[in-house]
Every structure is written in structure tokens, then in C-alpha cells.
Amino acid sequence: MILVLRALGVGDLATGVPAVRALRAAFPDVELALAAPAWLTPLIALIGGVDRIVPCAGLDDPLPPLTGVTVAVNLHGKGPQSHKKLSAVRPGALWAHANEIFTDGPQWREDQHEVQRWGRMLRFYGVPTDDLDLDLGVPAVDVPHGATIVHPGAKSQSRRWPPDRYARVARELAAAGHRVIVTGSAAEHELAVRIAAEAGLGADAAPSTGLDELAGLIAHARLLISGDTGVAHLATAFGTPSVTLFGPQPPSRWGPPPDRPRHRVIWHGVRAEPGDSSGPGVHQALLAITVPEVLAEAHSHGWSEK
């Protein structure tokens, strides 16, 4: 068995796809198991080649007893906790970045793009990778096609553009003829409903969705507007035009490949407009992004080419 640890979220899973596929190609006749949160199962199924999902909600969630692990691959982080977690299953070999407890891997680079980080690590161990192999299969779900998706949520407050600005963008796009749907996780549903109401959208403009339905909406969307969060990586995976608003992390670390013009990014480093105090905890770079700027990117976007 090849055991891969990536017990993180949607964007983390999406950026790990090239590495997972490279391992599948390198070990075509060996069981490939992915240790990841069980709620990601609908997305994992879209990668292809994963034989087994080992439920793992994070580093504090113990792995079940496993035997016959020939290679344990740490696609989770730089360790040492993730290294120890994989070493506990007594694999024949551990592939991971070097740190204070493990010296047989490549050095971790803080400035490296998340996709390239794992490709570089696997190439260190002799596994060829294609860092552009990011596409996912389209989920078979019944969802509206051709909507413009506005996704205001993000895991951390620092990556959430102020809700009133999302509402203004949604209102302007609806007035321009877009069918706008506001999405969010279960914890963000109230926020999505509030933004849809403030934008003057219909009662069905903020539906409750499971992960498979959310992925389907993005796969079939006209355009996605969001912060630097998991859904932006799904837009890249499905080839859906997107406008992504970056704050704490630069696009050079978490953005789409630069050769895909249908995925636009807006980032202003750490500058903020003087006197702008919207949204406590929001990163300065997000506060520097204006509604007209986002609308200009949306209206100039090549979404009709999809």
C-alpha cells in the first residue's frame, strides 16, 4: 500500500491532485490510500486512481491500524507532527520534507507555490510529476448551469472580503443580466442568505448545498468570484472562469497557473486605502480591493469562451 497524508481542506486537496496522480502512475499495481477528511469523499472521487480513503480529520485524529504500507507520503506539511503520524504505521519508507527529526528529504521552501512544493518533493524521490495536471472530473449532480457564483466565505476572517462589497458586486452583476447564486459552507449559509438579500436577489439565490452540489455549481458556472479559498481551486480544476481576491497569501503561493487567462487574480500586497476600517480582522490587501475593480475584472473576463 502507498499511504498519502493530506488531511486538510478543499483547496489543499485540489492543489495536491498532481502529486496524487503522479503516485498513481508511479505505482500502478499497488493500492493507493489517501488519508483525508471523510467529508471530502465527493471530491476525492473526482481525482481518479485513489483506491481507498482512510478517514482522517487532521493531525489530532489518529489513523486506524494499517498494515503493509510500503511507502508513506507526507503531502500534509513540513512536520514534525505529520511525520510522526505517518511513522506510527511503520512504513517501509517515508517520503517527506526534511526537518529536525527527518533528514532524508528535500528542504522545505516557504516561498514555493503549493502545487510545485509537492511535485518537487516527489521528483526528489524519482517520481515524475506534471504540476499542471490539476483538472478534476465533473460531478454528476443536478444543478443550475451558467450561473455566476459569488462565494463570500473563507476559513479565516483575514481572507474574507467585506460582505457589503460582495453584495454590491452581486447586485451589479444581476443588473447586468447574470444569474447570481451566493454560496457557502453550512457554517456560512446565514452569511450567504444575508448577502443575497442585501443584493436584492431572489429567495433561491442562496441555496443550501452539499460539497458535491457546490462543486457541480462551480463546474457548470459562467463565472466564480471568491476570496483565496477552496472554491477558487475548484474553478481552476473545472476550467471555470474566476476572479479571486487575495489577501494574506500572494497568488505566487496559492494562485492559479499563470498560463490560464480565464482565472484572474487581484492582489495589492499589504497596502490598504487610508481610513478604510471595514471588517475587523480582514487583511489589508483585501481592504484595498474595490468593488469597481472586481466588476471590471468580471465584465472583461473571457467567461463566454468556456
Nine-digit cell at 226? 471568491
Per-residue exposure over 58-91, b if at least 16 CB sit within 10 Å of its own CB, e if not: ebeeebeebeebebbbbbbbbbeebbebbbebeb
Residue 306 pLDDT > 80: no
**Does 116 share its domain with 178?**
no
pLDDT at 270: 62
Q: Which pLDDT tens digit goes with each residue over 30-75?
A: 999 999 999 999 999 999 999 999 999 999 999 999 999 999 999 9
Show the CA angle centred on residue 252, arms to residues 246 and 254, nearest 5°.
60
| Residue 37 or 302, more confident | 37
**Does 179 share its domain with 275?**
yes
Residue 8 pLDDT > 80: yes
- The domain spanning residue 55 has which CATH number? 3.40.50.2000
**Does 179 share its domain with 119?**
no
Residue 280 pLDDT > 70: no
Kindly report the pTM of this predicted structure. Answer: 0.92
Cell 468570484 belongs to 225
Residue 175 within any structural domain of the chain: yes
* Domain ranges, residue 281: 148-305
pLDDT at 202: 87
CA distance 53 to 18: 17
How many CB atoms are closer than 10 A to CB 158?
Answer: 18
**Does 111 share its domain with 203?**
no
Residue 136 within any structural domain of the chain: no
Residue 106 within any structural domain of the chain: yes
pLDDT at 276: 41
Residue 135 within any structural domain of the chain: no
H helices present in 153-248, as ranges? 163-175, 189-198, 211-219, 230-238
pLDDT at 302: 45
